Structure 1
């Protein structure tokens, strides 16, 4: 999954989105703090999907998903679904086409949702740049737009700032490409990027203040870095493992903190926390839970009390584990339990 696959719905209940073969499943809490549904739902009906779906969430709590599906032999198209509440069935998949009108998959999609609740689906196009299709102000979908760029690699990182404006980051030749909206409903435009030795597939973006989003990425030397457009990248600490981090903001003992989680090289989940946008304050990893398979994904969210919840999912085994922050100082978590 590209994006935050563990989310809190508008009613306070948590939902996880699980890739499963040629489908996406969702599973929700029956009430705040559980228990959870015994049987997952299938998102969008019976359409078969390609691997690599994406999910994003708006301020209204609605989840938006995008995925590639096979159409005719050798070709694919993108589809979109909306999930309004954790205990309701998601809407059927709606075709939204192909950035090049037709052809096979061009890259993994990314989804974010603007301040008005409109979904923005980003994907690499056949020329190696970034294309966008988004929901219109008065309903329906606009046309595909080519935002430019070249030789984009790996997953895109789409994010919506506290302003409600949309941004997207991509890994390109020699560094990071960045687009952002200059006004409500407008197409994101290319802005200043940064030269950096980025490892493709490690981008993760988070809204960190009223005026900034922060991009986390791993560089080729293995360090986890943070970058805000207009500034220089800052090395935060050595990456715990090879994949992207999950990130969430929360209050820890009265301080606005950013919490990071990543599957470590040892196979356990590693956590770090630091004062938001104050990377020089430093951070360090603390490992938790059992050793996980190499394909395990890690996600963070806030529960109905704005406390940190962590989840890990291994697609190969289907095991979903969950841990919550304890009611005590610091970032101590409960024991991991399998759902």
Structure 2
């Protein structure tokens, strides 16, 4: 990474320390000073400004999954100075040939040696992390051995210059093929085809004794890593990636999918078993399917990301690491962007912005999955937040959707993963909970099931739900099914729901978004790889019609909808740019009317945006939660806080916007109105240190 670029990113993420007139260091983070903040009546003014904090643990199947699919989130967490640990489940030994065979590099045929190739991949990862964290790919590591909770051993690498950066290598055997069935794999272990999966040690590892893990032992080993590092943010791959309809093959590497399922099981065990720990959120990342979608990153961010992959790939072939096995993964050297992967980052879950809503006038409710349960925060009419309270019931996936009933009660919807004791028990279902009275407690989770016949046909790859409420207070719940079409269940006057209805569409990529316009007409939208499809009501009591083509351009997938006038404004990002675009859609007889596209905010950024009034909130170029206004200057006003998932926003009864984000510290942070720029604070005062 060029020094100037690195300094720019570091300055954008880490608060600047300046010396005041009193000689005391203060934080210059674009926020109000303490004296300014205490003026006025807003309770949030007494809270400290939000900055990046927390502990991150990433668990991936192979060396390079983090670089391809979790960056730039990874590099920005390192630059922010967070404690970051990445655990690799397998050695990624493949066929054992460390040779380039692509457009940018080509090597003579190499002999197959899986232990040596796995060591070279480790060397490449250490170099890339050293470069991301210190700017020097040769920065030294200390390699040691730690016992695992599953009865084996793992290699622990600590970056000497930044000891809070750790790598943990479990060194299990990989599947050695993205899709072909191989019992000696994570897939075979999960499905009970083998009693235990053996290790694949590298040539240079300090772990000398081979071992194997049963399914339970691997879950225990991963859970033990979580207990060791006590994360507030857990990053993992996608456990439900889907299958290709023509071949039936997974859309992602089988190790990615089944590795993520092991992490799911371990995370649930950790949450249940370890009481004395911080709360944590989970972020899932899309894998190979990124290559089939428009680029989500701007060219400069993609090039920086690719630079770290070039280091991992040992593209310059210089002997700088001193290892006879090689300094990186030459298989990647021929194409360091992979199969169109390096130009994107996408969240497989929690990339919708409808998790903050008003209940009764003046009261706001926010929701996020913490510890595998739904966390609830509430802001009273004085502006004071409380929470989080965790609703009973485990297995709640990241991502929440809200709906407001006519009497001011709030419904929260999510998906829930049921792991079970057998592989065949695994399933994902739609659930919802509703307040028993306005401002009152939430009732129990109720299941709407799934439109899928089981896990095997489509890997349970349903979307997060969207919901709309009619004038009688009845819910309609929408999901994208594994066939990438729209499905719905409609609540009847009795309170029961219909079976899953087929609403058509094809190639749906995003979570659907649903909204009722000012005339009472329902709108539902979902992105495809090339455009956006619409379903609308011509009148409030008419059947939902569609899908209609909107003629909108391609997006980076996430979609947000907000009421505006007589219609609904859609927000999405421009591919290869990150600039936020929007268009106003108006329903009526026949196809909806779609306005021309306008643009807002600065360049770069990725993921869903939140909209409330004329205030937009999203992830800017540096990854921080940032705001802009419709019709304002084409730039983001950035905070000093990295966050997870998507932001959310809501207007209260007075028309005042509030925007919120879940920090990497697993705390809710909100922005309060300010004459020039929103000021971000923890919603609830942090507990005093003990």
Asked if TM exceeds 0.5, the reply is: yes
Q: How many residues in Structure 1 have an aligned counterpart in Structure 2?
A: 315
Q: What is aligned with 1:253?
A: none
Are the aligned partners of 2:431 and 2:446 in contact in 1 as well (CA < 8 Å)?
yes
The 8 Å contact of residues 355 and 402 in structure 2, kept in 1 or not, is answered as yes
What are the equivalent positions in structure 2 for 1:1-339 lying under 5 Å apart? 1=350, 2-29=352-379, 31-37=380-386, 39-43=387-391, 45-71=392-418, 73-83=425-435, 87-103=439-455, 104-190=460-546, 191-200=548-557, 202-210=558-566, 212-222=567-577, 223-227=579-583, 228=585, 229-237=592-600, 238-239=602-603, 241-249=605-613, 258-274=614-630, 283-293=633-643, 295=644, 297-314=646-663, 316-326=664-674, 328=675, 332-334=677-679, 336-339=681-684
SS across alignment from 2:382: coil
Q: CA RMSD in A?
A: 2.5
Give the Å deviation of 1:101: 4.6
Tell me, in whole angstroms, the C-alpha distance in 2 between the residues paired with 1:268 and 1:173. Answer: 27
Spell out, residue by residue over 1:152-190, the C-alpha distance to the aligned partner (whole angstroms, 9 max, x if none). Answer: 112222111112221111111421111112344554221
Confirm or deny: 8 A CA contact 2:363 2:652 kept in the other structure.
yes
Q: After superposition, what is the alpha-carbon deviation per residue over 1:301-325, rounded to whole angstroms, capped at 9, x for unaligned?
A: 23453322222212x4212222221
Structure 1 residue 137 displacement after superposition: 3.8
Q: Which runs of 5+ in 2 are unaligned?
A: 1-349, 586-591, 685-690
Higher helix fraction (1 or 2):
2
Deviations 1:120-139 (A, max 9, x none): 21111132101011212443
Checking the alignment, whether the CA contact within 8 Å between 1:32 and 1:304 is kept in structure 2 is no
Question: CA–CA distance in 2 between the matches of 1:334 and 1:230?
Answer: 37
The CA deviation at 1:262 is 1.0
Q: Normalised by the size of structure 1, how large is the TM-score?
A: 0.83
Q: Distance in 1 between matches of 2:681 and 2:608?
A: 21
Paired residue for 1:252?
none
> RCO higher in 1 or 2 (8 Å CA, sep ≥ 6)?
2
CA contact (8 A) 1:157 1:169 kept: yes
TM-score (norm 2): 0.43
Corresponding position of 2:292: none
1:232 Cα shift?
4.5
Please tell me whether the aligned partners of residues 407 and 438 of structure 2 are also in contact (alpha carbons under 8 angstroms).
no
Q: Considering only CA atoms, is the larger Rg found in Structure 1 or Structure 2? A: 2
Instruction: Tell me the residue number matched to 1:254.
Output: none
Question: Residues of 1 paired with 2:416 and 2:636: CA distance?
Answer: 39
Q: Tell me, in whole angstroms, the C-alpha distance in 1 between the residues paired with 2:666 and 2:634.
A: 30
1:32, CA displacement in angstroms?
1.4
Q: Which has the higher strand share?
A: 1
